[in-house]
Structure 1
Amino acid sequence: MIKIRISENKKQFETEKGERFFYLADTVWSAFTNATLEEWESYLDYRKMQGFNVLQINILQQWDASETDLNIKPFNYKEDGSFNFYERNDAYFDRAEKMIAMAVEKGFVPALVLLWCNYVPDTWGSEINDVNNMPFELVEEYVKYVNERFSKYHPIYLVSGDTDFPTKRSIEYYLLALNTIKELSPHCLTSLHIRGRLMEIPDDFLYSDKLDFYMFQSGHNIQFQNMSYKLAEEFSNKPVKRPSLNSEPCYEQIGYSRNLYGRFNQFDVRKAAWQSLLAGASAGITYGAHGIWSWHKKGKGFGLIGEAFDKPYDWKDAIKFEGAWDYSFAKKIFSLYNLNDLQPIDVVLKNTEEIRAAISNDSSKVIIYVPVNTVVRLNRLFENYEFTIIDLKQRRFAEANVSFKEKHTVIDMHLFDSDVLIIGEKRL
């Protein structure tokens, strides 16, 4: 069982042995309601082989999950079809706990959502569908039950799911959940999974000693993909220092939000990852495949609740999307080059924010992400550095052609046909 904690520098995670833990999560919100145990076993083996180490799962039913034949829900139904939160289905939680035990045995850290936005009144999700708002009087009891079921597996608790905080009442719901779970299980890390593009969280959470790290969501809106680095900058500069990560960049092959025509491809999701990692959110990254998060099966329906996305792929096809390997490769790069303490650095002489650069705390390494091929000019001399270009599409390594002119470092165009990572290592 992996037990993680926040590092002393408040920028990353580490194991109880003090080893760096790069948070590489997959998004499986709907696993508890949609995946059979046999499917779950197969899924775990594949993602383990790829190097993933965290699984983000909604404890309760995901509001926009794909249809399933399993028909197992966390609560009994009322006559109007909504949940009767006073009648819990223990068989559902028995099964969920078994799935968590299977995952932990294979080396995964569960990241479990306590209350998705549609379960809390006044949130944007509740405005769309408020039939399953949990009564406030049951929140504490529910969290205590979750604690009894899952805290022995040392999960991360994502107190909220895709939420905003529009009212005092919605804040009170999440504060109660956060305070309760942290008091019962101080060994479990906590965070908030917040709505896409949201930059601010209420002071009640920002200054709480019970919140351990920041999550943000650059999301699935084609018009705002610059949020991958804008939000990374914002959260890395909060007045309370905590590790931060992009917990929901654009999912691979998901349709553009608001049901616009088009889908995010492998390059799009890879770019979102590297721009987040080098703009301040270097604690880790979360991947998503359109078909895995909703656990879709061919021939089943997919509701247009929430942001409204085009139809998912069958989960057995979605698990093989190449973008998952790109995220795995990012984790490997962080390990190979020992990128443990990166700071964003403004050295790129180009009229764009798309190219991102970072430097290690000891200045021994400089890292640049270049999404579109160009000559890269830096306003600093890196004469005593060896530069390597990494072709992120084919995962190939090449030497860089570097020159120095008028106190500038100039890295010539490469010969690859996609995005690259340029790493400069200081000579000993």
Structure 2
Amino acid sequence: MRLLLLLLLFAPVALAQSLTTKPVFPLKVSDNGRYFVDQSGKPFLYHADTGWQVFSRLTTAETREYFITRKQQGFNTIQVQLSMNPDSVNRAGHRALINYDFTRPDENYFAQVERGIQLADSLGLLLNITPFWIGCCGEAYGIGGKHEVYKANGPAKARQMGMYLGERFGKYKNLTWNLGGDNDPKSIRAEIVALAEGLHAALPGQLKTYHASPPHSSTDLFQYAPWLGFSMIYTYWREKPNEWTDPQHQKHVYEAALEEYNKSDRMPFILGESQYEGDGSRYANDIGTPQQVRRQAYWTMLCGGAGHAYGHEGWDFPKLGTAKGRAYDWRTILQYPGGAQHMGHVRRLFEALPWWTLQPDQRHTVLVSGYGEFMKDNYVAAAMSEDKTLLVAYLPRATNAVGVDLSQFKKTQLSIRWYDPRTGQYSQPTSLPNQGLKKFSPPLPMQDDWVLVVKGE
């Protein structure tokens, strides 16, 4: 059957409105604890880019260029590091700390950070800031590093640094905070907690999370911490476990998301990191295709997530260079299809729908067949709205028909459409009564992934 692909008429309008209408920061947690809202009560879909080293690698003019590019591409949040490495300097030659001392921040460095925060604020962008990255592999401020800055400073100085950050940047409302960085706290837990508590004492109204080592989430480590406002999940894949974690404990994104969704102490969660889009010429580890980064975003949103972060191999803003015969720089990386196009389609789809009402169809009561295998990469994540008028299902491998029990819907007539996550286009709708089990196959050709949207009329 030949289906005409039509441009989705209302989605570009919805995204255009999102780009021109600034959220009223700071964010807060919804009444049901599942998602973020701004100060006006409007749901906020956390849609982030991982521009981790923007403060240390770019000038103010380049930062403006980067922020504007990502905003135009549909991102509303940037995840950044205040500083990743204690020896790294910004473009003006300043380090974050004098003599690696938490009580001696370099005002020149922090003034540059503030200019970046101001730019983001003027554009209506949320920043999620990690103060001092603790690191996975001895490359940062934490365990095994050259200076082991956290341990050398101790809890009292860490708390003082948290207070300083809160007082220094407290006037800006477009901020959330991210403790840790690529690792569990381990032997520096006291210092991490002290920094978090100092920050929270100075900024109780700004949400905070923790960036653990994969596949751990923030609540695996700090579930009842009074400063923890939302959780971050962080995982890779089962087939190719990450080199610094236990292969027996790797999970697909949807597995980690459902585990987080089902915890009794409810709070919003996001996918903070997973595979990074790239071709592997710069980095061999954690690199994914556009289809892989798409599916991880859709899996998160349809398994109860409040948002996600897209990763790419330009996170450290490389200058023009070559690797394995390919020329690259941070500007060309910003045009990778996953980030420049496909992630915008994710936001278009969900912001045109009441995404915050979606509940994961974990027991397959609506999507009853063709949902693939749990713990495999063909698993179909599906979610139905609380009022039983909307179903969204993501097929990571569009090879089989899926069976939907239409009688689960409360509307008498239903509209069935397929959304192409590569182009942001919908198929022509089909109308059916909400009776019985129906099977639906994606449009031809059955390439990669598709999204099924069933909506009551």
- Corresponding residue number in structure 1 for 2:298: 274
The within-5 A match list for 1:238-257 is 238-253=263-278, 255=280
State the shift of 1:117 in Å. Answer: 1.9
When normalised by structure 2's length, the TM-score is: 0.80
Residues in 2 aligned to 1:235 and 1:411: alpha-carbon distance in whole angstroms: 30
Aligned to 2:318, what secondary structure does the other structure show? coil
Alignment-derived partner of residue 394 in structure 2: 369
- Code of the aligned partner of 2:294: R
Q: Which has the higher mean CA deviation after the structures are superposed, 67-76 or 411-420?
A: 67-76
- 2:229 pairs, out of 182, 189, 212, with 212
Tell me how far 1:110 sits from its aligned partner.
1.4
Change (3 A) 1:393 1:8: same
Question: Which letter maps to 1:253?
Answer: G
Q: Does 1:176 align with 2:188?
A: no
Question: Pairwise mapping of residues 12-411 of structure 1 onto structure 2 (< 5 A)?
Answer: 12-62=35-85, 70-77=92-99, 83-85=100-102, 87-118=104-135, 126-134=142-150, 135-136=153-154, 137-154=156-173, 155-166=175-186, 169-199=187-217, 201=219, 205-219=222-236, 223-224=240-241, 226-253=251-278, 255=280, 259=284, 263-281=287-305, 283-291=306-314, 293-299=315-321, 313-324=328-339, 325-345=341-361, 346=364, 347-350=367-370, 351-353=372-374, 354-378=379-403, 380-382=405-407, 384-399=413-428, 407-411=436-440
For residues 259 and 181 of structure 2, the distance between their equivalents in structure 1, rounded to whole angstroms, comes to 20
- Note if contact 2:218-2:231 (Cα within 8 Å) is conserved in structure 1: no
Residue by residue, what CA displacement relative to the aligned partner does 1:26-53 show, whole Å, maximum 9, x if unpaired?
1111111111111111111111212211
The answer to whether the Cα contact below 8 Å between 1:400 and 1:412 also exists between their aligned partners in 2 is no
Unmatched segments (≥5 aa) in structure 2: 1-23, 242-249
Deviation at 1:338, TM superposition (A): 2.1
Look up the match of 1:412. 441
Residues 248-305 of structure 1: CA deviation (Å, up to 9, x unaligned): 1211116499945x94121111111111111221x111112211x111112499xxxx
Q: 1:356 to 1:221 in 2, by over 3 A?
A: closer
Q: Please report how far the alpha carbon of residue 130 of structure 1 lies from its aligned counterpart in structure 2 after TM superposition.
A: 4.5
Give unpaired runs (5+ residues) of structure 1: 78-82, 302-309
**In structure 2, C-alpha distance between the alignment counterparts of 1:52 and 1:230, rounded to whole Å:** 25
CA distance in 2, matches of 1:312, 1:223: 27
Bigger mean CA deviation after superposition, 224-233 or 23-32? 224-233
Q: Name the structure 2 match of 1:422.
A: 452
Alignment length (residue pairs)? 406
CA contact (8 A) 1:388 1:400 kept: yes
1:55-77 CA distance string (max 9 Å, x none): 11111234798x97643210235
- Do the aligned residues in 1 keep the contact of 2:86 with 2:140 (CA within 8 Å)? no
Instruction: Provide the secondary structure at the position in 1 that maps to 2:406.
Output: coil
Deviation, 1:151, is 2.0
* RMSD over equivalenced CA pairs, Å: 3.3
What displacement does 1:126 show? 4.1
Structure 1: how far apart are the matches of 2:194 and 2:103?
A: 18
Amino acid at match of 2:180: S
Structure 2 Cα separation of the partners of residues 290 and 340 of structure 1: 30
Indicate conservation of the 8 Å contact 1:250/1:264, yes or no: yes
Identify the residue that residue 33 of structure 2 maps to in structure 1: 10
* C-alpha distance in 2 between matches for 1:105 and 1:92: 20
Residues 359-409 of structure 1: CA deviation (Å, up to 9, x unaligned) = 111111001101222333336235842111011112221136798999422
Letter in 1 for 2:183: T
Match for residue 307 of structure 1? none
Cα 1:413/1:46, change in 2 over 3 Å? closer
| Greater mean deviation of Cα atoms: 224-233 or 352-361 | 224-233
Aligned-pair identity in percent equals 22
Aligned pair in 2 of structure 1 residues 89, 125: CA closer, same or farther (>3 Å)? closer
- Shift in CA distance, 296/222, structure 1 to aligned 2, threshold 3 Å: farther
Contact 2:217 2:232 in 1 (8 A): no
Label 1:334 to 1:380 Cα distance change in 2 as closer, same or farther (>3 A): same
Change (3 A) 1:69 1:175: closer
Work out whether residues 321 and 328 of structure 2, in 8 Å CA contact, stay in contact via their aligned partners in 1.
no
Normalising to structure 1: TM-score of the pair? 0.85
- Alignment-mate amino acid for residue 373 of structure 2: T
